[in-house]
Structure 1
């Protein structure tokens, strides 16, 4: 199997690399950076001939852009949830009015989105959501709580999975709503401080927040189908870009092991070689399944592979530094908590890799039931 890129792909790579080298270090504000990307036509590469995106790129060219973006050390994206998740969902399930209203502003980098799926007690078990959406004339009134919501502090809009049919259970009676975040007194965002000391995730509380009836995607009561479709867009091209970042982290750990003398330990050396080989296998597997719509288990296999791999890398990153990997700087004091360094952040943050985006248990269940055809486990009703 040929895992290479064609002549057109390499020309596209040269263009992307040149543009990123000129612009990636010139913008400080993340929202301004999204607009810079939009003006240059780099948002919406995967939207095809929809007419709502910017330039059109093939699947392999999308991979090229994602990889070069990471290699260039470009700023972390704050518009990717709208571009990579909501936009494909609207193209598949949205009305013409919804596409015309939201897609151009996503492509321009002018509106940012967050995802309102997980709830306390309904994370991986998404069908157990309890957030309610009650019809009130020309809008729905939403009440409930979402958790682990990335970018909620910056987002202009949130797509929310809520229970719109009273008395419904599990995946029935759910609706997929587009909710404006600028509703003081009706929406409250609370950052979640993590072990790393950072707050990438948030709790979001809805107290009668409104969503217009025409902003229900896929029709009232069809939220489960739309939500599952969106999750199918969550992996793919982004997985290959993620692996570029993984490779850079692995290279840093190898350098640390060499500098500290830990490379002389055969156990450490074996661990590094295994991680390198597994990363290569993950890349080949991702390329092999790229664009495959018939392999229902491919995203779950990929998630299982990289989640465990990244955790093992984090463990080794701390191990090669010995005792120094577990302590903070000399100037640390109990009253002024220190910031963890890159290796410590890798170790701590990767603890969540086998949980977020669908836990390992959920991924194994998907593979067992949808790919291997094993009998489903009985599930109790959740209101």
Structure 2
């Protein structure tokens, strides 16, 4: 049912903003379910101004920067700590840093730090160009992993393996600086994709590395074979795009590789806002999607302890543990924005289980925000059509620390 909230509830600042929002159409539909106001609207849209170019690093199941930006602008002030315990490609920490907040992030996958940290302290394009000229590309003339030839031309694979070995050696000897980390980050992002802007032959989008066997089938179906790609030129071109709106610099950030409920390095009551999206129920296979990126980075993907749950009750227990840790680190009056979605053909609404998981904790649900939006290109490439199947809304449960 639709309600006039100003007559039925004592508004908080957040509730007022959600109830009266109308920037992309009509005002919100507001419903109260089990005592919690639900606000339904298009709060950010594909037609909205795009986020900062520094965000343009692909990662499976990541949310748009407009999502954390909405809450950062509304619920924090410059200098506040903003956190994401499942940071993925680092959207929340990057957006927090760009807005003058202190960025905290965590993810069980160490790949996340490799993708996030270089964009908190960026080199200049000139520094990238100079470092690329210093890397001994001409010595990268051989390769060992011929199993990767379905993706790469032999010359390209030699350059990739040479850069990989060079980076791993520098890392092992504590020689990596911000410019090296940036080049490694860009290379990880350019390993595979569906245009000449990537190192590989045509394949799936860069956030979804297919298996070698699948790539062989793609090549046969498209009657294609890998052509030579100039690795340093591609890295420089992508760097120019990422830095085209300016870089970033900060000494105040904290990035961890921990389980979401075991972040002892974060002090009690230090975080003003958490914006996050946890792994959903058996939706995304992070290990399978990131196997090639982890190989390049020297990460043993089978040892990455990313949470995956088949049963709703197990996912809810995992959420309870995460929320309990977030209660510990959140300031009184601070907020947690926990984004989930519809799964299993809209038979499971995870926001309901997030609310149940908060039982007994020192947080109160202030709102459930439902952002209705068209499917993305990624959804369509998986054969999902608008309003047919899959997740077609952002559903964010917003808690206030008591």
TM-score (norm 1): 0.29
Larger helix fraction of residues: 1
Indicate the structure whose relative CO is greater, using CA pairs within 8 Å and at least 6 residues apart: 2
